Amino acid sequence: MEKLQKCLECGAAWAAGQTCEDHFHQMLFWEAENPRYGAEVHHLLVLCYYLQHPSLYSPAGLSEAQRLLVEFVERETSPGEVRQRNRARVDSSQRHWKIKGTAASHGSYDRPMPWPMTAADVVAGGAESYCDNVRAWARAVNETLKTVR
């Protein structure tokens, strides 16, 4: 009998040895295979995955990612508009904060988050439903994060 393992950050069960990172790479593969997928939802894929794995961000990066998710989900701002609006603010030559987490300084939440949907759920839906499932994932992550704002 295989021992069920869970992700220490998002709490997702790792079935058949498939980790969250494996699911993330599967989604990136689908986007490479079908560039339309990436054009439509890549920004949401990365945000959702990283928000559910907050140690990948610095504390400031985590806060910025939460703000970006609100822009995309609640205000329906396009990735191009967000890039244009934030260009100077996130320019690495002008920014005084790190995006990426390190062992010494990484993002976290005050309590475990009850994520209703994870990368595993998106992958389980298959490539045919990928874009719709990533959008649903983004809405679910945004709603969950409202409980900590």
- Structural domain boundaries, residue 112: 19-145
DSSP labels, the chain: -PPPEE-TTT--EEGGG--HHHHHHHHHHHHHH-HHHHHHHHHHHHHHHHHHSGGGB-HHHHHHHHHHHHHHHTS---HHHHHHHHHHHH-TTT--S-SB--SSS----SS----S--HHHHHHT-GGGHHHHHHHHHHHHHHHHTTT-
Please tell me the predicted confidence (pLDDT) of residue 91: 66
pLDDT tens profile 57-70 = 999 999 999 999 99
Asked, for residue 1, whether it belongs to a domain, the answer is no
Return the percentage of the chain with pLDDT > 70, whole number.
93
- pLDDT: is 86 or 65 the higher one? 65
41 in a structural domain: yes
Classify residue 5: in a domain, yes or no.
Answer: no
Q: Cβ(49)–Cβ(55) under 8 Å?
A: no
C-beta separation of 140 from 47 below 8 A: no
pLDDT in tens, 50-60: 999 999 999 99
What is the domain count for the chain? 1
Q: What are the φ/ψ torsions at residue 98 (nearest 5 degrees)?
A: -90, 145
Reported pTM = 0.91
Residue pointed to by tokens 């990948």: 56
C-alpha 96/C-alpha 142 separation (Å) is: 26
pLDDT given at position 148: 80
Would residue 110 count as lying in a domain? Answer: yes
